[in-house]
A and B are shown apart, each in its own frame.
Chain A
Amino acid sequence: MITRFITRNSIRELIPNLLTAFHVVAPVYSGNVTSFKRISSYEEIKWLDYNTDKPPKEFFLPPSDDIFQFQQHGKKIVLTEPVNHHAPRIILGVRPCDAAALTVLDRVFTEKGIDVLYTALRDNTLVIGQSCPKPGRDCFCTSVGISPDESRNMDIMLTDIGEDQFLVNLVSSKGEDFFSYFSHFFQESAEMSGSGYEPVQTREVAVYLKKEKIFDVRVIKKWLDTHFENPFWADIAARCIGCGACTFLCPTCHCFDFTDESVVQPIDHRNGGYKGVRRRIWDSCSFDHFTQTSFSGAASRTGAEAEAGTGAGVWTGAASRTRAGTGEGDGAGAGTVTRARAGAEAWAGAQAGLRAGTGAGAGAGTRARAGAEAWAGAQAGLRVGTGAGAGEQAGLRAGTGAGAGAGTRAGAEAGAWAGAVSGAGHQRRTTQEQRFRQRIMHKFKYFVDLFQRVACVGCGRCRSLCPVGIDLVEVLETIHDLFYQS
């Protein structure tokens, strides 16, 4: 077996070569936090022992992504899709947890429909990962089934073996291609097998690996399945201030919103001349306006009419079409703003039915509770059952001017979900307790229902960065205990 190495010096020589053809992204200092940034020289790279403060998620799901531009020409609105200007990229130094998080994003954005923006970024990126020499203080990746030397989703994995040398592990064919092209920067040794080398700090990692799992995600799931209503949620969420730090810094959180933003003031008022851009931006379930802004986003798209009702009507129509798509349609539809609300309730009912149909979701008890609760169950139901419905929704959005690209994009689970809620147009989760529960439920129950894995990779960022010290591990441990108590 051939063992391949690369030294730090070779990387230093390699980088300028890469820079001529690629955007090279690596961990750097940005202000006083560490994050991934496009670099222009080797010196900028910050070699860290563990993950960065900010995950590389932004390179696959940017905090703000232009979908298309619109410009008013007299009575017409002309849409321009942005040219795909994404240069091929190499992301260096991605940690196993952050790489594993791509699995979560892949499921969402490629499984039930292809999100063109995401896949464009994903496909033109080569991930050169790095195994963790030692666990970070807040890490708990082993508890969610990931290990510090895992190479999933990487193309090439580097392992620090000391003396400025890295063991090179070619994981994918993309990685092999890269290697064959730049092979003169690597060293090979036929005699020794990779296992003969001891990665740096392996002892700490070994200790970490041997440690008992802090919690068992299957147990967590079981408890969540039956405890949508529980005093625990109010207790744990009392101190949550409802900011988006945990979700925005989570490598797996993927909720987004659409917003139309004018980029140029009108020059000719009579004929318009308005110019703007539709963007996809990060959104967070922790925000108290989470689903509400989605709706107003929709309203602003159709302008003042939405206020009067027609815009909203169209949009709610989308919701009913979704329902029709699932065979649940009652055609209630909507036409006015008030009806949008009514539509929302009907929608909840329809969802409940749907849920019954697919057999997913919580019991009748929860369903009976109107509003937010019924809805959360509904969410699971929707996700299970209405892939097609989601497509419909997206289709409509395309109809109102999003273009074909948007259509496919919204086919994704999150898009479907955001869209559906937007259709309803009001905040379903009125308390922080509900919003906090949603975050946990989404990661450890709904996502498992849908994709058979948890939407958490144990990077520990939410624990480190919560402004009021809410600790996800503490939450999960408590749930674990609650399960065995009950």
Chain B
Amino acid sequence: MSTLLQEKARELLDQNEVSLVIGYGEFFRRTTDKSPQRIISPVFISKPDEAKSLIWNDHCVYNLSTYLIRKEVKAHRRIALVAKGCDVKSICVLIQENQIKRNNLVIIGLTCQGVVGNTPHGYAEKCYSCQLHTPNLYDILIPAQNRRSTGVTHAPERGEKRDCAGNCHEICQGSCHGSGQGNHEGNCQGSRDGSGHGNCQGSRDGSSHGNCHESCQGSGQGSNQRSHQGDCQGNCQGSRDGSSHGNCQGKIDQLDRMDQMDRVDMMDRMSSIERWLFWKAQFSRCIRCYACRNICPLCYCERCIADKSNPQWIEKGSLSGNLSFHIIRAFHLAGRCTNCGECERVCPMGIPLSLLTRKMAQVVKDLFQFEPGLSPGIKPFWGNLQCESEQSVIGEESFINGKWNNGKWNQGVWNNGGKR
């Protein structure tokens, strides 16, 4: 399928329809292992000949739409972007919010059957609830490599295990590295060199992170170098959880083995004290590198409130500042975040940020029956709250015990048709 992608990209550049194609490319990284590691990383292509470096496989985890809001990219007249269904959701929101012009963008949509991630089953968490394995908006569509013999294209089913043995060893040498958690990396570092070992190499210390267990079980039961040394106990099952290394907090460990919505449920079941302690522990690790914000396609404020120092809204050198930053960011994304999961993937400290955004998405969906990113044509969520009409999206029951519709709020703060 990469070939088709390359052809299309070449055509676009050849015919001068676009001046830049942003897609996924394959890189070879030198490591201290025998063979170089093949990784997937974003590529910017402006010459037709370079189109051959484009690639599409299930290690293309990045949400490239984040580059659309960069001024270097905006300077181009028209560009093409390679995007999976989940990435197109972000594009929809950007169009809704008038950040990019649809006409200046050629979307090369990818039919996707799930990308690798850090769940125990090997897919990214978002994949299990994905409804857009074929993007809802595209100009060119590239089909996926068929995962199943039936040839049916669909997202992985809940709990479905990613089949590593098949082609992982070819492509996945850590291609999804990039997150400090290393969990992506761990995935299927299969036996590319044929030796049958070296699975789980991905994580920086192998022992702790992510889904070594998945890869080990999937492909190489053999001598798992790192896991031996990092006392990762056999096939890394213990990864990240308290069982093999002592003192991790139980909650976090359980979370790691859950699918996304289960994790949100679990957060809900925590008492408020538990939740507070949980987040305090998480955010005390934050180093304020802002990788979460900078990778986010929807964090496009030219000057982030976290960067302002006169007046300074958010402390820069304290836990309370970390808390403020993440909570404010989550609120800014309510009704907008499409849960592409990039913030969590890139966090070098392994903070489970998508728990926040997921929860916000759940609330927005429950209260307002709104899911962001499904259509570029409708008004954005925050621009569409109506307080006057009987059929207000803010139902009496659903918002602050029905008190919302009383009093002055109603009379013209939101969507008042010009009256004040």
Contact = CB atoms under 8 A, between A and B. Distances in A.
A473 interface: yes
Contacts of B65: none
Contacts of B230: 48-49
A377 B305 CA distance: 32
B30 A473 contact: yes
Contacts of B367: none
Nearest to A432: B72
Given A32-B181, A135-B32, A137-B33, A239 B245 contact: no
B254 to A, nearest CB: 13
Contact of A50 (B177, B183, B204): B204
Interface in B199-237: 201-202, 204-205, 207-210, 226, 229-230
Contact of A244 (B41, B185, B289, B345): B289
B205 A306 contact: no
Contact of B247 (A43, A241, A464): A43
Interface in B247-304: 247-248, 252, 256, 281-282, 285, 287-291, 293-295, 303
B179 A467 contact: yes
B282 A31 contact: yes
Given A243-B294, A261-B316, A32 B210 contact: yes
A32 B39 contact: no
B257 to A, nearest CB: 12
B180 A469 contact: no
Interface string B10-53: 00000000000000000101111100010111111000000000
Interface stretch (A13-21, A179-187, A293-301, A448-456): A293-301
Contact of A137 (B32, B41, B44, B289): B32
Nearest to A289: B307
Nearest to B231: A47
A259 B350 CA distance: 26
**Best-buried of B180, B208, B312 by chain A (most CB within 10 Å):** B180
Contacts of A465: 178-180, 348
A27 to B, nearest CB: 9
Interface stretch (A76-84, A104-112, A280-288, A326-334): A280-288
Contacts of A139: 32
A194 interface: no
A243 B179 CA distance: 13
Contact of A32 (B27, B44, B256): B256
Contacts of A470: 41
Interface size of B as a range? 35 or more
B44 A239 contact: yes
B195 interface: no
Interface in B153-191: 177-183, 185
Interface in B51-79: 62, 66-67, 70, 72
Interface in A267-282: 279-282
A211 B348 CA distance: 29
A214 B32 CA distance: 11
B39 to A, nearest CB: 6
B293 to A, nearest CB: 8
A49 B208 CA distance: 12
Contact of A259 (B32, B282, B309): B309
B351 A63 contact: no
B323 interface: no
Interface string B344-377: 0110111100000000000000000000000000
Contact of B66 (A64, A238, A241, A297): A241
**Best-buried of B37, B43, B66, B349 by chain A (most CB within 10 Å):** B349
20 contacts: A31-B282, A43-B246, A44-B246, A49-B230, A64-B316, A65-B317, A133-B229, A139-B32, A140-B30, A242-B294, A243-B293, A244-B288, A247-B289, A260-B312, A289-B303, A463-B29, A467-B179, A467-B295, A469-B42, A471-B27
